[in-house]
Structure 1
Amino acid sequence: MFSAAPTHRRVLPPARAAAETDRTEATAGTSGGPEGAEPPSPKAGSRNPFFDNAKYLAIVLVAMGHSWEPLTDGSRAAEAFYMTVYTFHMPAFIIISGYFSRSFDMRKDRLQRLVTGVAVPYVLFETAYAFFKRWADNDPGQPISLLDPWFLTWFLIALFIWRLTTPLWQIVRWPIPLAVAIAVLASVSPDIGDDLDLQRVLQFLPFFVLGLSLRAEHFAMVQRRAVRIASVPLFAAALVMAYWAAPRMTSAWFYHRDSAQELGTTWWIGAVMTLALFGCSVVLTACFFSWVPTRRTWFTVLGAGTLYGYLLHGFVAKGSRFWGWFDDYAWLHTPLGEIAVTLIAGAVVTALCTPPVRKVFRFAMEPTMAWAFRKDPADTARARVSS
């Protein structure tokens, strides 16, 4: 009789090792900001301080931009700074989101993190913002609509959609030109409507796809001394251009939430503006990245809490309008007042990114929700092997 051939059972890898190999973070700040997988870092398994620094500095600019908005009507300088910052602060955030989403596929654990880190915070904060507006603005008619993102929550629904499309962008031959073409078409299509803020989803899409296409060496390229030096006159030129454009154009172009027709112009101007703003945003974002420190700093740890700062500062930003702070205190519209508003906005969002705040609000930003998902048979098998 033939002896049975020896069989070699394949042992499943430990769950912990698998998790460390492909650790992901859900969004623009749940545990760290707009991300999907840990960035390449000097030590395996450690965080790259460059990306944490970039996320923190970007979220500070977001908060400052919101604080400048009420000042732009009476200050051309404030409008110039506002336009300049709005050219690159969200593109920078979105490019990092795309970069950290490169490994995203439809694997179960990644989909779970997408739900808990993006979809759940979207539902919770869209609801919280609606109740806040009802109370703070005395607006009992403010609806709770998950189809119509209000204020800051558009980014969460956009990230959810972008990340689901990641596998598609990784198989097409020319992803960036295709994404730019989609953005241009969206900018001249007023019938898209407001559902899920699809105008923003589509018009900001090229930055996410650009992030998907980047590699670590691309970020190293913009860190060169020559780029850092060149960024100074480029930023200065951008400010001068914004100062000239302030009384001549609407800053709504930088929000990417309306079509050209809705902004009162022709379709071809919308196409030109979309392409021009994309080019300007990429250049200024590269300049911004060139000045981001690559070493650990005092604010590196705050880069792990940018979603907290992003969503929570919205209550302060909107509350300041609802309660008339900028109307009641005329000194805020003076040069010293504008500086004070800028510093206060930076301090508030910094405080909201700190570990104690993250600990308090982790239930909303990073819920585990193990009860909501079916157990993976492979995890059960690994548990049996390890025991």
Structure 2
Amino acid sequence: MSADATPAPAVTLAPERRRPPLPSAGVAERRAEPRDPFLDNAKYLAILLVAAGHAWEPLREGSRTVTALYMLVYAFHMPVFAVISGYFSRGFEAEPRKVGRLLTGVVVPYAVFEVAYTLFTRWTSQDPDRPISLLDPLYLTWFLAALFVWRLTAPIWRLVRWPLPLALGVAMLATLSPSIDSDLGLQRVLQFLPYFVLGLQLKPGHFLLVRRREARTLALPVLGCALVVAYWAVSRMDYGWFFHSESAQELSAPAWYGPLMALATFGCSVVLVAAFLACVPGRRTWFTMLGAGTLSGFLLHGFVAQAAKYFGWYDHAWIRQPVGEITVTLIAVAVMSVLCAPAVQRVFRRGTEPLAPPAPAARPARCPN
């Protein structure tokens, strides 16, 4: 999702081979930089977790297992996208061409889908009088608003001496500020900021660390232990802390609790992000190309999730049985995969990137295993 919404090219984890330029009408033709399959794989697997999380949302009541899975997924799936967004923003400068791409790749889709989701919400009668407002992100559009703000500030974070501690300080202060309103989802923008700044600090070698055999060996046990802890914490903790959308006061906690939870959730989420990335294959797979379409899948699947509630798809009793919960999960994964497909990207390109010129045809790049 994030890399599709951000126009910076992927950076491969393995060194590229030098190739002589191909002549074209007497002028050297520039080759398109190949995408990194590892990051595309990571985005695709993470967007499946987004779909699963939204599919599980109506099933949480009465199911401790589903709630534990929901808590675990929300502890790291959006941090994954924020980190990858930061990584792809390392070369962003406030120059006209890059700012223009930011407008066409993030701001315009934000405006289009903010209006679309508002009208869809009116139609489903969830909020028939909701006004159209580009300052109050609805449903999924908050991430595009956050991405716009984060990327604009990227040059600043590269100038300060201790960017990550400073970003953590901003997030901690945000938990103390219930007066922060909903304009551009500012509470989420500030509380998710450390993950984006962490991504800005990463280099290709850091991804190689989580792909080492030792990291892969530890990844599944770490995720398994996290699920056990989540199951234990279902009745003991408000998982709203992982949404990063409210202050401590709004979560009915004392003010001093907010900064501590900001640090605790950041540490927990970073460990889970690393464990998740350690499980991601680095070679090109059958789903690698779907990783390039996560923005399309992210923006479109919200209509399916809201329609499922409106048409009463969760009203059947068998849906809340184990077989129903598994079926709902598989359907969510399948729908998201379809929405990330290249054909769907082409159909909805005018909505997800309306002002961008069509990409030139290029041969698929060879990527290292």
| TM-score, length-scaled by structure 1 | 0.86
Decide whether the 8 Å contact of 1:182 with 1:203 is kept in 2: yes
Match of 1:250 in 2: 238
Q: Which amino acid aligns with 2:319?
A: L
* CA drift at 1:48: 0.7
Q: Which amino acid aligns with 2:291?
A: G
Structure 1 position 365 matched with structure 2 position 337 = no
Task: Please give the secondary structure, in 1, of the residue aligned with 2:104.
Answer: helix
Decide whether the 8 Å contact of 1:187 with 1:259 is kept in 2: yes
Decide whether the 8 Å contact of 1:56 with 1:306 is kept in 2: yes
Counting only pairs closer than 5 Å after superposition, residues 130-145 of structure 1 correspond to structure 2 as 130-137=118-125, 139-145=127-133
247, 254, 257: which is aligned to 1:266? 254
2: distance between equivalents of 1:41 and 1:286? 16
- 5+ residue gaps, structure 2: 18-32, 358-369
Decide whether the 8 Å contact of 1:84 with 1:239 is kept in 2: yes
323, 343, 347: which is aligned to 2:334? 347
Decide whether the 8 Å contact of 2:109 with 2:352 is kept in 1: yes
Match of 1:48 in 2: 36
2: distance between equivalents of 1:83 and 1:35? 31
- Residue deviations 1:206-227, cap 9 Å, x none? 0000000000000000111111
Shift of the 368–34 alpha-carbon distance from structure 1 to 2, 3 Å rule, reads closer
Match of 1:224 in 2: 212
Decide whether the 8 Å contact of 1:83 with 1:251 is kept in 2: yes
Structure 1 position 71 matched with structure 2 position 59 = yes
* CA drift at 1:368: 3.0
Structure 1 position 28 matched with structure 2 position 16 = no
Match of 2:46 in 1: 58
Structure 1 position 95 matched with structure 2 position 83 = yes
- 5+ residue gaps, structure 1: 1-26, 371-387
1: distance between equivalents of 2:180 and 2:127? 27
Decide whether the 8 Å contact of 1:137 with 1:323 is kept in 2: no
Match of 2:147 in 1: 159
* CA drift at 1:37: 3.0
* CA drift at 1:309: 0.3
Count of aligned residue pairs for this structure pair: 341
Larger radius of gyration: 1
Counting only pairs closer than 5 Å after superposition, residues 6-17 of structure 1 correspond to structure 2 as none
Decide whether the 8 Å contact of 1:98 with 1:208 is kept in 2: yes
Q: Which amino acid aligns with 2:67?
A: E
2: distance between equivalents of 1:37 and 1:207? 20
Decide whether the 8 Å contact of 1:313 with 1:348 is kept in 2: yes
Shift of the 138–230 alpha-carbon distance from structure 1 to 2, 3 Å rule, reads closer
Q: Which has the higher helix share?
A: 1
Structure 1 position 282 matched with structure 2 position 270 = yes
Q: Which amino acid aligns with 1:28?
A: S
Match of 1:9 in 2: none
Match of 1:121 in 2: 109
* CA drift at 1:141: 0.3
1: distance between equivalents of 2:121 and 2:164? 38
Match of 1:310 in 2: 298
Structure 1 position 301 matched with structure 2 position 286 = no
26, 39, 45: which is aligned to 2:11? 39
289, 300, 325: which is aligned to 1:338? 325
Decide whether the 8 Å contact of 2:55 with 2:328 is kept in 1: yes
* CA drift at 1:108: 1.1
2: distance between equivalents of 1:144 and 1:206? 30
184, 192, 206: which is aligned to 2:172? 184
- Residue deviations 1:362-385, cap 9 Å, x none? 111122367xxxxxxxxxxxxxxx
* CA drift at 1:36: 2.6
Decide whether the 8 Å contact of 2:176 with 2:249 is kept in 1: yes
Task: Please give the secondary structure, in 1, of the residue aligned with 2:75.
Answer: helix
2: distance between equivalents of 1:337 and 1:142? 33
